[in-house]
Amino acid sequence: MENESHAINETMENTSLSKKPRKRRKKTVSDIELQIKELQKRKEELILKSKAEIGEFVLTILSKKEISLEDIENNKELFYEELGTLLSENSQNFFELLK
């Protein structure tokens, strides 16, 4: 009985030792191109998400100041002009803040 279990153990050890480790498949150019496209798509999704979050934040601030989307829509040109001016005037502050 002991001999049989010893023989089985030896056979299992020899089998596991004789197996060669699997080599990783090398990436092809098309694999890398696909990966690049996936990363670019992911980047675009993150940018869109970030834009939405910034938009929601701005709308929240405006809402607290009792400025509605309807008010903005009715005076869109003036609002955008003023917002552009404010952002231009404070762009250096934003730049320093984000460094």
pLDDT in tens, 16-74: 555 667 788 888 999 999 999 999 999 999 999 999 999 999 999 999 999 998 999 99
Question: What is the spatial distance between Cα 36 and Cα 94, in angstroms, rounded to a whole number?
Answer: 31
21 in a domain, yes or no? no
Model confidence, pTM: 0.59
Q: Is position 20 within any domain?
A: no
Q: Which domain holds residue 35?
A: 28-66
pLDDT of residue 27: 87
What does pLDDT average to over the chain?
85
CA separation for the pair 84, 86 (Å, rounded): 5
Instruction: For residue 46, tell me if it sits in a domain.
Output: yes
The total number of structural domains in the chain stands at 2
Residues 57, 47: contact at Cβ < 8 Å?
no
Tell me, yes or no, whether 47 and 33 share the same domain: yes
27 Cβ neighbours under 8 A, 6+ residues apart = 35
Beta-carbon contacts of 59 under 8 Å, excluding residues fewer than 6 positions away, are 69
83 has a pLDDT exceeding 70: yes
For the chain, counts of helices (H) and of strands (E): 5, 0
